[in-house]
Amino acid sequence: MAAQNVVRKGIRWRVRNGQSIRVWEDKWLPHLSTYKVIYPRVLLPLVSRVCDLIDVVNNCWNGDLLKQVFLPFEAECISGIPLSIRLPEDRQVWAETTNGLFSIRSAYKGKRKDGLGLVHWCQYYLEEYWVASVVHPKLPQILESNWSPPKDPLYKINVDGTVFPSQKEAGVRVIIRDQRGLFIAGLSKKIPTPLDAIEVEAKAFEASFTFATAVGIHDFVIEGDSLNIVQALRGESPPPSSLAPLIYGMFPVVNDFWSIHFSHVRRTSNWLAHFDFKISRGMDYPSIMNESEKRSSVSVPSAPPQPPNPSSEIDHSNHWTATGVPVHMTNQPNPPPRPAANPDLKSHPESPVPWSTGLFNCCDDVNSCCLTCWCPCITFGRIAEIVDRGSTSCGVSGALYTLILFVTGCSCLYSCFYRSKLRGQYFLEESPCTDCCIHCCCEECALCQEYRELKKHGFDMSIGWHGNIERQKREAKKPPAVQGAMTR
């Protein structure tokens, strides 16, 4: 019973869509000591839920309602909770750790905070620290890191976020450069909410994906100076509890690009994205420059510039300034299909996405339906070649499928594994039942659905994996459309 009380005391809610969290009863505030709202319960009924405070249309908090209902410090704390664009279901997390996962050590640590136990705990670790205190020689100076251009045909995107405590606002900055280090496009955007530093960094990554789509870039390296976010996007470690909805909400968006490589850099190598905040704190639209403007207005020195003279520094405290050329993507064709799932993405979102077509919607693609009915080995061979990323050809996979069919009569035992692999690459839900059951009950329908799904993701199934790669390279060489300069 004592252990249950400890666990119950350390659990709080992580806000996602707010439908499961009671405003006045549950623990859901991230920064207050009690995690609960302490303001008198007026204006809102006792049964109110946190979702009543969220503007679902704009995917943000209802700032006016927060100011009316809560005290200023509570309203500021609530508005600083980041919301995912997907608004998944709420979850309970362990409040004593940054990743929200329970551990015996953190529970023991929380229990030790009381009375005499805290004194003994401090004495024990003080003795260990005294014994382990050894004077080490000075570490050698760390080598300076510099920005390096990406390999052809990739672009490089540098992102950064900055908090302005005096204004209770934040801002994100995105810089896109090509293989020669030349400026392609830039985005500077303010966020009128008092987010934490790491939450602003996550918002910068989120904004970069939308901006890359608007500019027409599909293969790129994205760099940031937040190691926690980069490791979470790579799938190397779970994200912090406060960032989990944002990080998991990015995965379906990331998977729509051809290839993305996540890279962590030190602040000195990310200085251009960071330093630009000191010059312009609020460009609310993307900017893009042509070749002549790149040479005349953008230069990349080998070292960060010196800060401006305080006597000549412009006061930005009362307004936001904007510079650049607005983007209007006129005559821009639809982005070409993505021929491969993102190789750097290793973790799955918490809620799998549905299939683009139903299991029995065979009439949506009559050609693939007829092909599967007469020659299922060809349909499976094409699917296997794409899913295996060209490691096995259509002919080899189709021949093996036919051999298993004639020997065992149950080719579904082989094809169901590729359905599982396809779902893993695109985070698709396992419906209406398990992969093996679907292929055993209706092999042709399952193959047709997988065939249509790959076509929906932009693959030309008739030319195979390597044909799609060649088409990708041809399309990648087309530069994005650029409109002439516009004065403000």
What digits encode the pLDDT tens for the residues 344-384?
444 444 567 888 888 888 888 888 889 888 899 999 999 99
Instruction: Indicate whether 141 pLDDT > 70.
Output: no
Report for 189-193, 228-232, 321-325, 330-334: range of highest mean pLDDT: 228-232
- SS3 at position 16: coil
- SS3 at position 277: helix
Decide which of 40 and 469 is more confident: 469
β partners of residue 49: 22
Which residues neighbour 477 within 8 Å (Cβ) at sequence distance 6 or greater?
Answer: 153
Backbone angles phi, psi at 224, to 5 degrees: -150, 160
CA–CA distance, 28 with 103 (Å, rounded to integer) = 20
Query: How far apart, in Å, are the Cα atoms of 205 and each of 6, 129, 198, 232, 343?
Result: 37, 39, 11, 12, 18
Mean predicted confidence (pLDDT) in 153-182: 88
Question: Residue 152: its pLDDT value, please?
Answer: 80
- The dihedral built from the CA positions of residue 91, 92, 94 and 95, taken in this order, carries a sign that is positive
Lowest mean pLDDT among 38-47, 99-108, 337-346: 337-346
Q: What residues does each domain of the chain span?
A: 2-94, 155-308, 362-457
Instruction: Indicate whether 293 pLDDT > 50.
Output: no
Backbone angles phi, psi at 375, to 5 degrees: -140, 75
Q: What percent of the chain has pLDDT over 90?
A: 12
- The dihedral built from the CA positions of residue 277, 280, 284 and 288, taken in this order, carries a sign that is negative
Structure tokens at 481: 């459309």
Decide which of 122 and 67 is more confident: 67
Question: Residue 5: its pLDDT value, please?
Answer: 66
Question: Residue 101: its pLDDT value, please?
Answer: 74
Decide which of 302 and 60 is more confident: 60
CA–CA distance, 176 with 187 (Å, rounded to integer) = 9
Exposure of 445 in the CB half-sphere (CA atoms within 13 A): 14
Instruction: Indicate whether 116 pLDDT > 70.
Output: no
Question: Residue 121: its pLDDT value, please?
Answer: 58
Band of the pLDDT at 205, cuts 50, 70, 90? very high
Band of the pLDDT at 145, cuts 50, 70, 90? low
Question: Residue 451: its pLDDT value, please?
Answer: 93
Q: Residue 13 in contact with residue 92, Cβ under 8 Å?
A: yes
Query: What is the DSSP code string of 166-224?
Result: TTTEEEEEEEEE-TTS-EEEEEEEEE-S---HHHHHHHHHHHHHHHHHHHT--EEEEEE
| CATH architecture entry for 155-308 | 2-Layer Sandwich (3.30)
Instruction: Indicate whether 280 pLDDT > 50.
Output: no
Side chain identity at 282, as an amino acid letter? Answer: G
Lowest mean pLDDT among 363-367, 393-397, 409-413, 474-478: 474-478
Exposure of 22 in the CB half-sphere (CA atoms within 13 A): 7
Structure tokens at 117: 């136990």
Mean predicted confidence (pLDDT) in 422-431: 84
For the CA atoms of 436, 437, 443, 447, what is the dihedral angle to 10 degrees?
-60
Band of the pLDDT at 316, cuts 50, 70, 90? very low
Question: Residue 328: its pLDDT value, please?
Answer: 37
Band of the pLDDT at 304, cuts 50, 70, 90? very low
Instruction: Indicate whether 261 pLDDT > 50.
Output: yes
Question: Residue 194: its pLDDT value, please?
Answer: 78
Mean predicted confidence (pLDDT) in 89-108: 74
Decide which of 105 and 257 is more confident: 257
The reported pTM is 0.44
H-type alpha helices, 100-144: 104-111, 115-132
Side chain identity at 45, as an amino acid letter? Answer: P
Mean predicted confidence (pLDDT) in 57-72: 87
Backbone angles phi, psi at 428, to 5 degrees: -85, 150
Burial 192-226 (b: 16+ CB within 10 A, else e): ebbbbebbbbbbbbbbbbebbebbbbbbbbbbbbb
Structure tokens at 104: 């015996």
CA–CA distance, 338 with 259 (Å, rounded to integer) = 8
Decide which of 314 and 478 is more confident: 478
Mean predicted confidence (pLDDT) in 186-213: 88
For the CA atoms of 115, 117, 120, 121, what is the dihedral angle to 10 degrees?
-110
Q: What secondary structure, in 3-state letters, does 407-457 show?
A: HHCCCHHHHHHHHHHHHHHHCECCCCCCHHHHHHHCHHHHHHHHHHHHHHC
Nearest by Cα to 233 from 210, 201, 258: 201
H-type alpha helices, 195-340: 197-215, 227-234, 244-254, 271-275, 291-297
Burial 308-333 (b: 16+ CB within 10 A, else e): eeeeeeeebeeeeeeebbebeeeeee
